[in-house]
Structure 1
């Protein structure tokens, strides 16, 4: 996996989910990432990746034959409509409801939806309210 350009600048460098059914997970994540305008940038026979997310089968050399278990992963959405659209796409592509879109008490304006992916990972789409970024991302060229 060779990358000529990376976008970084937040807390996590990357996360790898090792899943039981790679095809089901690829369908699920391709659908919700498309709504978020995050492309799948690479695929191999035993894994795929998008931005800081790597999803692999247990047969991938990096997985060592072990599934990762249940995680909570939150994707940033640009607005409430995007949260709603991610939720619908997730349910249409193998996800299970884990909290319909709506305001949450975490802070004023916190609007989120939760679904379980095909492996039971708790996937969230969240919009934190009106804000302005100083940059879309940090670009690293090699």
Structure 2
């Protein structure tokens, strides 16, 4: 008998932002990713990516020649101090204030900061408070 663990997919497979100034976007995202401990996955002259976020120029093959509209992306932070560091790093890297670090009324323990990236996207870092116990993984057993 063999045990196989099924990992269900995430709601979002990937997100692409198409920006006019890739250098400014890269400076901004590299600064906030460093604070959030997210490594840059790769890059070329017309794009870069990290985890499920892909940022490119309008001339990139996948962009179809158009920039994307304004989006709201929220990155998870490990604690309130990381949210504050995200905010400072984002502002220092060309972001604009869109909501200083602090508690929000969305649910108890919601601590977040909001910054507009160089392309005008609303970028958030959020800490949801201490982790609660999660449901166990789904395991299936089958005979081969």
Please say whether Structure 1 and Structure 2 have the same fold, judged by a TM-score greater than 0.5: yes
Name the residue aligned to 1:89. 89
* Structure-2 residue corresponding to 1:110: 110
Which consecutive residues of structure 2, in runs of 5 or more, have no partner in the other structure? 1-7, 135-144
In 2, the alpha carbon distance for the partners of 1:82 and 1:39 equals 16
Deviation at 1:19, TM superposition (A): 0.4
How far apart are the structure 2 equivalents of 1:9 and 1:89?
A: 31
How has the CA–CA distance of structure 1 residues 133 and 82 changed in structure 2, closer, same or farther, with 3 Å as cutoff? farther
Runs of 4+ in 1 over 3 A off after TM superposition: none
Shift, 1:58, TM fit: 0.6
Matched residue SS, 1:75: strand
Query: Quick one: distance in 1 between partners of 2:70 and 2:76?
Result: 20
Provide the TM-score with structure 1 as the length reference.
0.86
What SS class does the counterpart of residue 54 from structure 1 fall into? strand
TM-score under structure 2 length normalisation: 0.85
Give 1:132 deviation, angstroms. Answer: 4.8
Number of residues of Structure 1 aligned to a counterpart in Structure 2: 127
Per the alignment, residue 63 of structure 1 pairs with 63
Match of 1:77 in 2: 77
Determine the structure 1 residue equivalent to 2:36: 36
Distance 1:120 1:92, change over 3 A: same
* Structure of larger gyration radius: 2
What is the match of residue 54 of structure 1? Answer: 54
Match of 1:27 in 2: 27
